[in-house]
Chain A
Amino acid sequence: AQSVAQPEDQVNVAEGNPLTVKCTYSVSGNPYLFWYVQYPNRGLQFLLKYITGDNLVKGSYGFEAEFNKSQTSFHLKKPSALVSDSALYFCAVRDMGGLTGGGNKLTFGTGTQLKVEL
C-alpha cells in the first residue's frame, strides 16, 4: 500500500524568506509524486510532479521540489515566499503500477498549512 506523510501541520515563514514544505512517501515500486495547493473553499491546483529524470523539478508560481530516493522524500521549496503563497499544500503519490493494477488513484498526505507573514 502506498502512503504519504507530511510531518508539519503548519509552516510559518516571513515574506521574502525561503520556504520548505516536507513530504515523505512509501510505495512498493517507483513513485509518481505530485504537489497540489488548495486555497480556502477551492479545489486543488496542480503545482508540479516528479516522474523520472532530474531530481529537481520546477513547477508553477516559482515552486520547485527535490526528489530524494534514498530518503523517500519530495520536499516542496520556494526561494522567496510571498504572502499570496499562504494556503494548504498537499503532497500525493501514485504507484507506477497504477494503470494495469487498477490503481490510478492518488494517495494524499494530510496537508500542510503554509502561512507567510509580512
Chain B
Amino acid sequence: EAGVTQSPTHLIKTRGQQATLRCSPISGHTSVYWYQQALGLGLQFLLWYDEGEERNRGNFPPRFSGRQFPNYSSELNVNALELEDSALYLCASSLLLAASEQYFGPGTRLTVT
C-alpha cells in the first residue's frame, strides 16, 4: 500500500514569492492535515481538510491557505513568503475517525532566501 506522498522534496523561494506544496493521501483516507516543523519551534498544526472542506486551522496568518481536491489530494499555498517560513512542511492523512492515527509523508523542505 502506497503511503502519503509529497512534492516537491525541496523548494527554494525568495522572500515575497508564493510557494505551492502538494500532498497525496493514503488511498481510502479522506482527511488531510498540514503541519509545520520549524527549527526550534517543534511541530505546529496548520490545517485540516476533510471531504474538500477546511475543518480547522492553527494559529497561522491567512497567507497560509490550502485546498483539498475531489480525489482527496491537497495543496498548501503560502503567499508573501517570509524568511521565518523556512521549515519542513509535513502532510498527514487519516480516516475520519477520532481514534485514527495520522500517517505522515516525507515532507517538503521549504527554504526562503
- CB pair B107–A43 under 8 Å, yes or no, is yes
Chain B residues with Cβ below 8 Å from A41 are 109
Q: Taking CB as reference atom, which chain A residue is nearest B55?
A: A102
A-B contact count (CB 8 A): 61
> With A43-B90, A43-B104, A43-B107 in contact, do A105 and B58 touch (Cβ < 8 Å)?
yes
Majority secondary structure, A binding face: loop
> With A104-B31, A111-B42 in contact, do A42 and B106 touch (Cβ < 8 Å)?
yes
Q: Count chain B residues whose beta carbon lies closer than 8 angstroms to a beta carbon of A.
A: 27
Q: Taking CB as reference atom, which chain B residue is nearest A108?
A: B43
Chain A residues with Cβ below 8 Å from B96 are 99, 104
Chain B residues with Cβ below 8 Å from A99 are 96-98
Question: What's the interface size class on A, roughly?
Answer: 20 to 34
Q: Can you list 26 pairs linking A and B with CB atoms under 8 Å apart? A: A34-B102, A36-B104, A42-B106, A43-B90, A43-B105, A43-B106, A43-B107, A44-B90, A46-B101, A46-B102, A49-B99, A96-B98, A99-B96, A99-B98, A102-B48, A102-B55, A104-B31, A104-B33, A104-B48, A104-B55, A105-B45, A105-B48, A106-B33, A106-B45, A108-B42, A108-B43
* Residues of B near any A CB (own CB < 8 A): 4, 6, 31, 33, 42-43, 45, 48, 50, 55-56, 58, 90, 92, 94, 96-99, 101-107, 109
